[in-house]
Structure 1
């Protein structure tokens, strides 16, 4: 009986030491996560096309959908027609002033002729004064018409520029109707179907960069002091059923501020209530999933 008890204690000690040895190698544990982006429409309207399905891999920059642009199209056509009408109203300065310039030129020639006649005493001073008054009047009319025409042209050009700006704004809105995928990754969830109404605050789908996974763990203060960004670590992904796979990871971020131990995190020293979050970058070989558990062995600890 005593030998049986001693044998049981011996097995407990052996397996206990083995477990503690394993825990010493795995200094922290956490769950895998990835960068997730929720994609929304920039314009309100009906979803005419949305070519994404959950599980699809989509490259960054690919146009995957379209919001109805019909109303914006008619606004653009209306603005373009208004621009044509305004441009047709812009007067031709040379044509407007041509009549006044010819009148001034004829008057100046007549004034020069009368001035020669006056010098030869073949014309009176009154004749000269009458012609000069007519020339001065023509010059004044030319200046007035020039100023008025320049004001009209400036106003028409300003109106045309405002309409052109309106066209540019409508073109920008039409461009925003295109739903462009922002990051390369896998579609994690689809929230909207075609022919449904979209709005800037309404999510269309969620995409995640599944090639670059991050394991977030928590370490105690004395451990954080020995770690630095860029350190290589060993990551053991828990695949379930007691199976695990080892990956090479690299520390990408260490929190600068301590926080209280989350309820789901257990530290070796329960008296230490403050821990530091650490993110470890791991390249996914297609096995890792969001929410999967993983353990970490820090090479520097």
Structure 2
């Protein structure tokens, strides 16, 4: 990489000159792209990976699968544990069911006694029944009401116990859900998802190999837009600014140059000395500044291709 930068910087100082002694261009360098190295996010055997160099992939496209059998089984195990907890909370205790049935029976009996007492009261008023019969009926109602109150207290006690047990059971659900989310994330990361739209530049893995977290699988770049990284001297620096439209050209052999319109997107805030091993003693004191020019690619521009920048359109 260092040697590469040396040759680029040297090209700035060793430019060909026009007839009047002025440089034929203002900066020169090589085209590059925003390259993304896609790495594995899970450990395991690569089950499928149909990616080839030169393939054009879309962002979000699934391009491979890593074996995630172990985390998938662990996820299923946690799901079964959560279902078992819900079964415990949804099934009341047998004692509670018995008390609830007893309460329903006693309430029905009490309603029947209320009706019998009302009928007896009417009979007493018409001298068809004695006061003792009414007193006996009131005693039965009073006794059953007391029994009903006791049964209700038992039901409330069972319900309180059940609620306490359910809270204890459901308290275990939170950690289990977190574990399930972790295993689900591991399963999701078993899919190799392409992050950006672009063309595959290099492939580093094959189906059947073992992948590990962080292992590079392939390199991809969006080549629809390339950047000419070049170097300008301190003399040229005051003539350029960010967002400025400049001309970029490439050599077309006998046809001369092919020219593109570019936009200056980056200017380094640090200067660099020109390579001492190439330049003459007088030129060694010169400083250069790295710049980047964004150029829309029509298909003829390639990564690494040499290009020249002209501040003024030719």
Match of 2:126? Answer: none
**Within 1, Cα distance between the matches of 2:271 and 2:301?**
28
**Within 2, Cα distance between the matches of 1:39 and 1:218?**
30
**Within 1, Cα distance between the matches of 2:105 and 2:270?**
90
Q: Cα RMSD over matched residues?
A: 3.9
2:213 to 188, 200, 214: 200
**Within 1, Cα distance between the matches of 2:20 and 2:113?**
120
Structure 2 regions of 5+ residues with no counterpart?
A: 1-15, 119-130
Normalising by structure 1, report the TM-score: 0.75
Contact 1:36–1:209 (8 Å) recurs in 2 = yes
Match of 1:144? Answer: 157
Match of 2:37? Answer: 38
> 1:223-234 residue pairs with structure 2 within 5 A?
223-234=236-247
Number of residue pairs the alignment of both structures matches:
280
Contact 1:228–1:251 (8 Å) recurs in 2 = yes
- Cα offset for 1:297? 0.5
- Cα offset for 1:238? 4.1
2:200 to 171, 187, 203: 187
Contact 1:100–1:138 (8 Å) recurs in 2 = yes
- Cα offset for 1:74? 1.9
The 1:17/1:52 distance shift into structure 2, 3 A limit, reads closer
The 1:105/1:26 distance shift into structure 2, 3 A limit, reads same
The 1:78/1:240 distance shift into structure 2, 3 A limit, reads farther
Normalising by structure 2, report the TM-score: 0.72
**Within 1, Cα distance between the matches of 2:175 and 2:253?**
65
**Within 2, Cα distance between the matches of 1:135 and 1:16?**
112
**Within 1, Cα distance between the matches of 2:274 and 2:193?**
37
Does 1:169 find its partner at 2:182?
Answer: yes
1:209 to 210, 214, 222: 222
Match of 1:11? Answer: none
**Within 1, Cα distance between the matches of 2:150 and 2:80?**
41
Contact 2:225–2:297 (8 Å) recurs in 1 = yes
- Larger mean CA deviation between 222-231 and 237-246 belongs to 237-246
1:98 to 73, 97, 100: 100
The 1:198/1:241 distance shift into structure 2, 3 A limit, reads farther
> 1:34-73 residue pairs with structure 2 within 5 A?
34-73=33-72
Does 1:263 find its partner at 2:287?
Answer: no
- Cα offset for 1:144? 1.6
Contact 2:110–2:141 (8 Å) recurs in 1 = no
**Within 1, Cα distance between the matches of 2:90 and 2:289?**
73
What secondary structure does 2:239 align onto?
A: coil
What per-residue deviation string (whole Å, max 9, x for no partner) do you get for residues 259-298 of structure 1?
323539989965343x432110112222222222211101
Match of 2:9? Answer: none
